[in-house]
Amino acid sequence: MNPQRALFLSAIVSAVLCGHALAGYVEFDAPDGTRYRFYDAAPTIIVHQGTKPTPIAAGQTHLDPPRTIKCNSKRGCLITAKVWVSFDTHQGIASVSAYIDNVAMEPNVVYYQGQAILTAQQSTFVPTGIHTVATIVQQVDAGGEIVGWNAEYALYETPD
Full set of structural domains in the chain with CATH: 43-157 (2.60.120.40)
More confident residue, 75 or 42: 75
More confident residue, 141 or 24: 141
Average pLDDT (43-61) is 90
Query: What's at 5, amino acid-wise?
Result: R
Q: Model-level pTM?
A: 0.77
Handedness of CA 11, 18, 16, 125 (dihedral sign): negative
Average pLDDT (45-52) is 91
Query: What is the average pLDDT score of the chain?
Result: 80
Decide: 100 and 83 in contact? Cβ < 8 Å.
no
DSSP state, residue 103: E
The pLDDT, as a whole number, for residue 15 is 39
The pLDDT, as a whole number, for residue 127 is 95
More confident residue, 77 or 91: 77
Helix H or strand E segment including 134: strand 129-139
Burial class (CB within 10 angstroms; exposed 0-12, middle 13-18, buried 19+) of 139: buried
